[in-house]
Amino acid sequence: MSDAAPATPENPKPGIRHVRLVIALAVASLLGTFAVYTAFADSSIPVLGVAQASTGYDGQKVRLEGKVTETSGDAADPHGMRFILQDNEHAATMPVEYHGAVPDAYRVGRAIVIDGTFKNGVFTAIPDTLVTKCPSKYQDKATTSTSSGSS
Amino acid sequence: MIAALVLGLIALAVVIGVAWPLVRPASAGDQLDPFTEGQRRRLALREERDLALGALKELEVDHATHHIGDEDYAELVADYRARAAEAIRKLDAEIPPVG
Amino acid sequence: MALIGQGALILALLLAIYAAAGGLFAGLGRDRRFLTSARNALWAILALVVIADAIFLYAIFTHDFSFKVVADTTSRSLPAGYMFTAWWGSQAGSLLLWVTILGAFSLLALRATRRALGELQPWLIMVLALIGAFFLVLLVVPASPFVTQLAPADGLGLNPSLQNPYMAIHPPALYLGYVGLAIPFALAMAAMIAGRTDARWLVASRRWTLASWGFLGIGMLLGSHWAYTEVGWGGFWAWDPVENAALMPWLVATAFLHSVMVQERKGMLKVWNICLISGAFALSIFGTFLTRSGILSSIHAFVSTNIGWYFVFALAAVLGGAFGLILWRLPLLKADQRIESLVSREATFLFNNLLLVGLAFAVLWGVIFPLLTEAVGSVRETVSTPFYVFFVVAFGIPLLFLMGVGPLIAWRRASLKQLRRSFLWPVVAGLIAGGVMIGFGLDSSWPGVAAGSVCAFVTVTILSEFVRGAAARRSIHGENWLVALLHLIGRNRRRYGGYIVHLGVILFVIGAIGSSAYETRAEGLLKPGQSLTVGSNVLTFSGVEKTRGPNYVERAAVLNVTSDGSSLGTLKPAKRAYIREQTTSNEVAIRTTMTAGDLFIILDGIRGDGAVQIKAFYKPVVGLLWIAGFFFVGGVILCVWPDEREARRILRRYAEEPLPGES
Query: Tens digit of pLDDT for each residue in C508-551?
Result: 999 999 888 888 989 888 999 999 999 888 999 999 999 998 87
Would you state the pLDDT for residue A3?
A: 41
Alpha carbons C237 and C242: distance in angstroms, whole number: 11
Give the H/E segment covering residue B27: none
What's the pLDDT at A150?
A: 32
Please give the radius of gyration of chain A, using alpha carbons only, rounded to the nearest integer: 26
Separation between Cα atoms, residue B76 and residue C265, nearest integer Å: 14
Print the SS3 string covering chain A.
Answer: CCCCCCCCCCCCCHHHHHHHHHHHHHHHHHHHHHHHHHHHCCCEEEEEEHHHHCCCCECCEEEEEEEEEEEEECCCCCCCEEEEEECCCCCCEEEEEECCCCCCCCCCCCEEEEEEEEECCEEEECCCCCEECCCHHHCCCCCCCCCCCCC
Options 2.40.50.140, 3.40.50.1580, 3.40.50.720, 3.40.50.10800; CATH of A47-138: 2.40.50.140
DSSP state of C661: S
Judge: C418–B69 Cβ closer than 8 Å, yes or no: yes
- Residues of C with Cβ-Cβ distance to A9 under 8 angstroms: 334-335, 338
Residue C92: count of CB within 10 angstroms of its CB: 23
C371: nearest Cα among C293, C309, C299, C283: C299
Q: With contact defined as beta carbons under 8 Å apart, do C156 and A136 qualify?
A: no
- State pTM to two decimals: 0.90
User: What residues of chain A lie within 8 A of the CB of C233, using their CB?
Assistant: 101, 128, 149-150
Examine residue B71 and state whether it is found in any structural domain, yes or no. yes
Residue of B nearest to C653 (CA): B46
- β-bridge mates for residue C576, sequence order: C554, C585
Q: Which residues contact B55 (CB under 8 A, 6 or more apart)?
A: B76, B80, C265, C411, C412
Query: Is C288 in CB contact (< 8 Å) with chain A?
Result: no
For C592-644, how does the pLDDT look when each residue is reduced to its tens digit (9 = 90+)?
Answer: 887 878 999 998 888 778 888 898 999 999 999 999 999 999 999 999 988 77
Candidate from A105-114, C315-324, C630-639 with smallest mean pLDDT: A105-114
CB C620 within 8 A of CB C514: yes
DSSP 3-state assignment of C155? Answer: coil
Residues of C in contact with A141 (CB under 8 A): none
Q: Any idea what DSSP says for residue C523?
A: E
Q: Which residues contact C536 (CB under 8 A, 6 or more apart)?
A: C563, C564
The C-alpha of A3 sits at a distance from chain B's nearest C-alpha, in angstroms, of 8
Distance to chain C for A133, nearest Cα, Å:
9
Indicate the DSSP class of residue C577: E
What is the distance of C-alpha B43 from the center of its chain?
A: 7
Contact C523, C613 (CB under 8 A): yes
Contact: A43, C156; criterion CB under 8 Å: no
Q: Does residue C232 surpass a pLDDT of 70?
A: yes
Contact C650, C203 (CB under 8 A): yes
Q: Amino acid identity of C333?
A: L
Q: What is the pLDDT of residue C124?
A: 95
> Is pLDDT at C373 greater than 60 in this prediction?
yes
The answer to whether residue B70 is domain-embedded is yes
Q: Which helix (H) or strand (E) holds C237?
A: none
Q: Does A1 touch chain B (CB under 8 A)?
A: yes
Q: Which of C341, C362, C602 sits opposite A15 (nearest CB)?
A: C341
Nearest-by-CA chain A residue for C361: A34
Q: Which of B4, B30, B47 sits opposite C199 (nearest CB)?
A: B47
Residue B25, chain C, CB below 8 Å: the answer is no
Distance CA C146, CA C157 (A): 18
- Other residues' Cβ atoms within 10 Å of the Cβ of residue C96: 29
How large is the ipTM? 0.88
| Dihedral angle computed from the Cα positions of residues C64, C68, C72 and C74, in that order, rounded to the nearest 10 degrees | -20
Pairwise CA distance, residues B63 & B80, whole Å: 15
**Distance in angstroms (rounded) separating the CA atoms of residues C175 and C135:** 13
Q: What is the C-alpha separation between C381 and A65, in angstroms, rounded?
A: 12
Least confident of A48-52, C89-93, C272-276, C299-303: C299-303
Query: Does residue B12 belong to any structural domain of this protein?
Result: no
* Angle (CA) C575 C576 C579, round 5°: 145
As a whole-number percent, the residues of chain C with pLDDT over 90 amount to: 46
C203 φ/ψ angles, rounded to the nearest 5 degrees: -60, -40
Query: C540 by DSSP, 3-state: which?
Result: strand
Q: Average pLDDT of A65-75? A: 82
Closest residue by Cα to residue C294 from B64, A131, A126, A40 = A131
Question: What is the average per-residue pLDDT within C280-285?
Answer: 95
The whole-chain average pLDDT of chain C stands at: 88
Query: Measured in whole angstroms, how far is the alpha carbon of residue A81 from the centre of its chain?
Result: 23
Nearest to A138 among C73, C237, C351 (CB): C73
Do the strands A93-98 and A122-125 form a parallel or antiparallel pair, or are they unpaired? parallel
Angular region, A80: left φ>0, alpha ψ -120 to 50, beta rest: left
Q: What share of chain B is helix, strand, coil (3-state, %, to 5)?
A: 80, 0, 20
Sequence-distant (6+) residues with CB within 8 A of C434 are: C449, C450, C452, C453, C456
pLDDT > 70? residue A55: yes
Segments forming the whole domain that contains residue B71: 36-99
Alpha-carbon dihedral C395, C400, C404, C406, rounded to 10 degrees: 50
* Chains in contact with A via at least 3 Cβ–Cβ pairs below 8 Å: B, C
Chain A CB contacts of C602 under 8 Å are: 101
The answer to whether the CB of C292 falls within 8 A of the CB of C95 is yes
CB-based contact A1 B82, cutoff 8 Å: no
C304 or B73, higher pLDDT:
B73
H helices present in C330-415, as ranges: 345-376, 385-408
- Within 10 angstroms of residue C477's Cβ, the number of other Cβ atoms is 10
Q: How many residue pairs bridge chain B and chain C with CB atoms within 8 Å of each other?
A: 147
- Specify the higher pLDDT residue, B77 or C371: B77
The H-assigned helical ranges of C30-143 are 32-61, 68-73, 91-112, 121-140
d(CA C90, CA C70): 9
User: What are the DSSP calls for C285-296, one per residue?
Assistant: HHHHHHHH--GG
CA distance C557 to B91: 79
Residue contact B78–A2, C-beta within 8 A: no
| Ranges of each domain in chain A | 1-44, 47-138
Chain C touched by A51 (CB under 8 Å) = no
Q: Burial level of B23, CB count in 10 A (0-12/13-18/19+)?
A: exposed
With 0-12 CB in 10 A as exposed, 13-18 as middle and 19+ as buried, what is C223?
buried
C525 touches chain A (CB under 8 A): yes
> Cα–Cα distance between C414 and C345 in angstroms, integer?
9
Largest interatomic CA distance in chain B: 83
- How many domains, chain B? 1
Chains touching B (at least 3 CB pairs under 8 A) are: A, C
Distance from CA of B75 to the nearest CA of A (A): 7
Asked if residues C172 and C96 have their Cβ atoms less than 8 Å apart, the reply is no
Among the residues of C478-623, which ranges form H helices? 481-491, 493-517
CA–CA distance, C600 with C617 (Å, rounded to integer): 5
What's the N-to-C CA distance of chain B in angstroms? 71
pLDDT of residue C349: 92
For the cut 70, the answer to whether the pLDDT of residue C294 exceeds it is no
Residues pairing with C160 in the sheet: none
In a domain, B23, yes or no: no
pLDDT, residue B99, reads 43
Q: Does residue B49 belong to any structural domain of this protein?
A: yes
pLDDT higher than threshold 80 for residue A14: no
pLDDT (tens digit per residue) in C385-429: 888 999 999 999 999 999 998 888 888 877 777 788 888 889 999
Q: Are C40 and B21 in contact (CB under 8 A)?
A: yes
